[in-house]
Amino acid sequence: MVVICSQLDLIHSQVREEMMVDTKKLNNLIKDAGLRKDYIANALHITKQSLSNKINNKTEFKMDEISVIREMLHLDSDMMVEVFFATRLDCESSSTMEVANG
């Protein structure tokens, strides 16, 4: 039983390491919505620096914070998943596509 729990913990930690915020996409959505990050941080009851850390994958968003941002940016479920539950590969390909198109 202990071995199974340890394996599940390992799998969970690996999945969490693979999941990340698509920083570029989230920043673009905030800009397109005409919102300021200090306004979003205030709505989340966190500092602007804490918001920046979360956007840049230094710390994790809580589910209630994701929900608030989703409402503020009017994101549908698919876009919410793309932004907040991206994989490292998704974020890298997003950056590569922008360089190729730019």
Return the CATH fold of 18-101.
434 Repressor (Amino-terminal Domain) (1.10.260)
Mean pLDDT of 87-95: 62
Instruction: Determine the Cα–Cα distance for residues 75 and 30; give it in Å rounded to an integer.
Output: 11
Residue 99: pLDDT above 90?
no
pLDDT for 17: 53
| 82, two tokens | 């793309």
Average per-residue pLDDT in the chain?
A: 82
Number of helices and strands in the chain (H, E): 7, 2
Query: pLDDT, tens digit, for every residue of 22-60?
Result: 999 999 999 999 999 999 999 999 999 999 999 999 999
Do residues 52 and 23 make contact, with C-beta atoms less than 8 angstroms apart? no
Task: State the amino acid at position 65 in one-letter form.
Answer: E
